[in-house]
A and B are shown apart, each in its own frame.
Chain A
Amino acid sequence: MHKLPFVDVLAEKQDHSRKQDLESFEYTFQAEITNVYPLTTTEKLYQIQIIDQEERMRFSFKPGQFVMLELPGIGEAPFSISSSPIRHGDIELCIRAVGNMTDFLARVPRGTRVGISGPFGTSFPVEQMQGHDIMLIAGGLGIVPLRAPIFAVLENRNRFGNIDIIYGARNPSELLFTYQYDMWRQFDINLNIIVDTGDADWQGPVGRITTILEQRIAAAPNMGKNTYAIVCGPPVMFKFVCDMLLKAHLPMQQIFVSLERRMHCGRGKCCRCNIGSTYTCLEGPVFDYWSVMNMKEAI
């Protein structure tokens, strides 16, 4: 009779060296919702701080990455981080109340303990973009993942050339972060806001994002190789905007998009986020335009 020994995968003496990885797989940072700012009728900005101070400082992310936000007993879902990377584990998530978990989140008070795991995914290559002109183009909720690179670029303003931010929404009441536009403009940038349909108070332009982009491209006919573009928005927008950028001679590996998919793990396991067969959580959510063209069903 031979009794097989029980192998504890986390035991010290086990030589498969990924013990720490195994331990961290299910690790969730305890965090607290320190502030909630209603932005529109459906979107709120949640300021979430990791409670343990050491963990908070160790938590570092790059613009474009996302976290899994967990409400124990309610659910877990992926959200792009919209705050500046220099703030470490004191992050901001802009969330629209649209499903089971986000509806619940919209009702929780300040001080609620939540779980944060991550950061996951790829990021916008902000370092690689230094010394170049930057175009940040967002449609609707696309401004949410774009806000982290906006901060990253503005905080190091002198390392970049011309900065253009083009942001479009359906109507003025759906515009997000309106209180920050004046602050952004102080950094010598070109901020263009456009809405599909204006209202009585709306003074700015009315139309599609592509209208502004067209004017911008016409004004700088040889932007070409020296420009990096980041595009976030609904799938329809990607196609039109990226086509225009390609026509303006931007190399496709200098155009970046952030894609959205359903996710249940964030760790390349559950397959829910697969595009064709690429994991959005591992190889994305930030893809260059070549990858997008190369993947089936991406946009």
Chain B
Amino acid sequence: MLFRVFAKDQLINLYDILAVNHIVGPVSKGVDRHGAPLYDFDFIYDFAELQLDYTATIHSLKRFVLPPRETLCTFDLQTDSWQKHVDFNADKPIVYFGLHACDINALNKLDKVLLGNVFPDPYYAAKRKNMFIIGVGCMPQPFCFCKSMGTDSVLHGFDLFLTDLGDSYFVEIHSARAFTFMSSMECREPRHSEHQRFLEVTQERMNRFTCHVDTTDLTKILDLEFQADVWQEWGKKCLSCGTCANVCPTCYCYGIEENVDLSLQHATKTKHLYSCNLIDFAQVAGGHNFRPESHDRLKYRYYHKHRGFVEAFEESLCVGCGRCGQSCLANITVPEVIRSVRGEGGDHA
């Protein structure tokens, strides 16, 4: 990895260099009921819209890489045959300006199952291969537990990563094209004092984490506590609304539906993101539901993220962004659930 430093007022130049492309970044979306600012990722048309010092976005990047509804293919129907037309729904490279480490890590985790598995998903690949990612350092919010999940820093899966040193940005360069861009703007190699400053900033950030999750032996504990009563308690609270999956940067499960248009000449096959907390997630034809109760489904969600994915890929499918807990209408948060399953706390009910 190569490093550079540039003055803060140069940021607009970096933006301008890339502005010929479509740019997605954090923008302000009003305030919540307590008056705190809300942010979300959206297309940016002016540098002034870019809010690089954002706290956290409501949604993850998923809208851009795994759209909530996506047409997978269309059919031309004739009386005795049909033709299928596939479109991967990617037509342009997009610059993602200002992602936190957790969101980049989320993409890396999605890659494992959507690109590296037996059947790589071309719809995801087409979008993923057309990303230019600029990460930015963040300050932990009270609900962030990425440090516990090992996703507080990012080692790959981005082009540039900016860390705020006060009057300048410390830049990690991770791709050839990023290096080319950097060489066309005013920047220099970092001095020793800036190395020090970078480490100080990183350390200061580490010290600011207030939310922790003990993941020691979590896979075993989840197996041991499969029948535990705490799941029932959480199940009583859970509304089975699927909001957690909606905001989660790593939830990728989906459903497929097919529709014929009114002329009966064409049909579409649409994928829509789903949530394992919705009641008919595992219901088969004939009506049998493999997970009929709300606690079954909530438990399954934790099993998939914190046990199954670990078993398959040696890492958890949770990046600790805390979005699910923030959005949950019943105030169910991952740290609390895991603490209760571990038999600690007990203030969950």
Contact = CB atoms under 8 A, between A and B. Distances in A.
Contacts of A262: 281-285, 290
B258 A72 contact: yes
Given A28-B84, A111-B80, A296-B226, A9 B281 contact: no
Contact of A265 (B20, B125, B256, B303): B256
Closest 6 CB pairs of A and B: A277-B308, A73-B267, A271-B253, A99-B285, A73-B260, A267-B119
B91 interface: yes
Contacts of A6: 91-93, 130
Interface stretch (B54-62, B71-79, B207-215, B325-333): B71-79
Interface residues of B, number: 72
A98 B285 contact: yes
A23 B122 contact: yes
Interface of B: 16-21, 72-73, 75, 77, 80-82, 84, 86, 88, 90-93, 95, 113-115, 117-122, 125-126, 129-130, 132, 177, 180-181, 184, 223, 226, 252-260, 267-269, 274, 276, 281-286, 290-291, 296, 300, 303-304, 307-309, 311-312
Contact of B254 (A25, A99, A269, A275): A269
A5 interface: yes
Nearest to B91: A6
Contact of A276 (B81, B268, B281, B300): B300
A4 B16 CA distance: 13
Given A2-B20, A261-B282, 14 more contacts: A1-B17, A2-B17, A9-B126, A30-B82, A73-B268, A99-B286, A102-B285, A111-B80, A269-B121, A270-B254, A270-B274, A272-B274, A278-B308, A282-B118
A270 B255 contact: yes
B120 A260 contact: no
Given A270-B253, A272-B253, A2 B180 contact: yes
Interface residues of A, number: 54
A264 B255 contact: yes
Give the most central of A3, A26, A30: most B CB within 10 Å.
A26
A102 B38 CA distance: 47
Given A2-B18, A4-B177, A272-B282, A25 B276 contact: no
Contacts of B274: 270, 272
B304 A277 contact: yes
A23 B156 CA distance: 27
Nearest to B180: A2
Given A73-B258, A75-B257, A99-B285, A268 B119 contact: yes
B130 A7 contact: yes
A21 to B, nearest CB: 5
A140 to B, nearest CB: 11
A1 B91 contact: no
A277 B82 CA distance: 36
Contacts of B92: 6
A36 interface: no
Contacts of A30: 81-82
A256 to B, nearest CB: 20
A217 interface: no
